Structure 1
Amino acid sequence: MQLSALLYILNIEKYMLPCFTKQFLGVDCPGCGLQRSLLFLFKGEFVEAFKMYPAIYPLIALFAFLLVRNRFNFKHESNITFSLMFISTAAVFINFFFKFI
């Protein structure tokens, strides 16, 4: 609740970066919706965040693992990293593909 109030007070939505691909070419880029999805996450609206940008959760898992692996050693670190990168990339491009259907 406090984070939501802080976001409202700071009015973060007016500082969001525009999508230049959408402005100049008129089509969404593979990252369109990521900022709004993060904003939904900060507000605690997890389903809305997924609806806005379905690749948000694989990307969070990837970045969380990358941060944790710097602190701890994992036996199959490279395999886990590759798998999370593959899943994240696939989720981004599947989302991008379904925007055009």
Structure 2
Amino acid sequence: MQLSTLLYVLNIEKFMLPCFTKQFLGMDCPGCGLQRSLLFLFRGEFVAAFKMYPAIYPMIALFTFLIFKNRFQLKHESNITFSLMFVTSAAVLINYILKFI
């Protein structure tokens, strides 16, 4: 069974959490769109995932590297971790600022 078929069968969209910041304050938070972006990724819609939440790919790279560095000893792992964290944070902030422009 393919992952997209499994997601359709489970109807995972019914279980997505609402954004409490948007509900109470009426404005998006820096993480708005992350769940839907992950759903697009699971469906194989990579461009739609990027359009929904552009920071998804740096975030995936960061978490993948963090898992990878726990298993293997790397020479410059602190520099790589810092760089990936910086790029991910910058992507989140830029995306958040562009939502209001």
Query: Smaller-chain TM-score range?
Result: over 0.9
What amino acid sits opposite 1:38 in the alignment?
L
Instruction: Give structure 1 regions of 4+ aligned residues with deviation exceeding 4 angstroms.
Output: none
Describe the SS at the equivalent of 1:13: helix
Residue 54 of structure 1 aligns to a residue whose secondary structure is: coil
Aligned length: 101
Q: Report matched runs for 1:63-82 at 5 Å.
A: 63-82=63-82
- Matches of 1:88 and 1:49 in 2, distance apart? 15
Instruction: Give 2:39's aligned amino acid.
Output: L
Please give the per-residue CA displacement for 1:48-73, whole angstroms capped at 9, x wherever unaligned. 00000000000000000000000001
For 2:49 and 2:73, locate their aligned partners in 1 and report how far apart those are by CA, in whole Å.
Answer: 31
Provide structure 1 residue ranges, at least 5 long, that are not aligned to the other structure.
Answer: none
1:94 paired with 2:94, answer: yes
Root-mean-square deviation (Å): 0.8
Alignment correspondent of 2:32: 32
